[in-house]
Structure 1
Amino acid sequence: MLQNIFRNIQARLNLLIVDEGGMSTVEYAIGTVAAAAFGAILYTVVTGDSIVSALTRIISRALNTNA
């Protein structure tokens, strides 16, 4: 009888360990929020004055080279 109880407990623990119901939805939500935050930070950095002026200088130098 005691052996049956242990088997029952082990079976239930295995179900708890293997059960991943709802995990994918949470992972997608966290990934979406992280991607949006990264996009917002990237947009802020790229549209900043220092980046725009640096890109303008690089493009100007590339176009004004003496060949």
Structure 2
Amino acid sequence: MWGWMRRRSAAVCGAAAQAGMSTAEYAVGTLAACGFAAVLYKVITSGAVSSALSGLIRRALDVAF
């Protein structure tokens, strides 16, 4: 009678133990996110993009007032 419950419990617990990312996957994901953030920061702070964003903000504020 309890055999099927034990098999079902083992199947569910085994599947739950394998769900999600492992520590190594979290580390790789974190490094990738940091690398992307660094590239994005360099692009945003570059001269051309910075001046374009400043001009866009100036035009938006001039129109609003």
Query: Could you state the TM-score of these two structures normalised by the residue count of structure 2?
Result: 0.61
Identity of aligned residues (%): 48
Who wins on radius of gyration, i.e. which is larger? 1
Q: String of CA shifts for 1:10-40, please: whole Å, max 9, x gaps.
A: xxxxxxxx896xx601101100110110010
Flag structure 1 segments of 5+ consecutive residues without an equivalent. Answer: 1-17
Q: Does 1:40 align with 2:38?
A: yes
Distance 1:66 1:24 in 2: 50
One-letter amino acid matched to 1:51 = V
Q: String of CA shifts for 1:24-64, please: whole Å, max 9, x gaps.
A: 01101100110110010011001001111001111111122
Tell me the number of residue pairs that the alignment of Structure 1 and Structure 2 aligns: 48
Moved over 2 A (4+): none
**Residues 12-51 of structure 1: pairs in structure 2 closer than 5 A:** 24-51=22-49
Flag structure 2 segments of 5+ consecutive residues without an equivalent. Answer: 1-14
One-letter amino acid matched to 1:25 = T
Query: Could you state the TM-score of these two structures normalised by the residue count of structure 1?
Result: 0.59
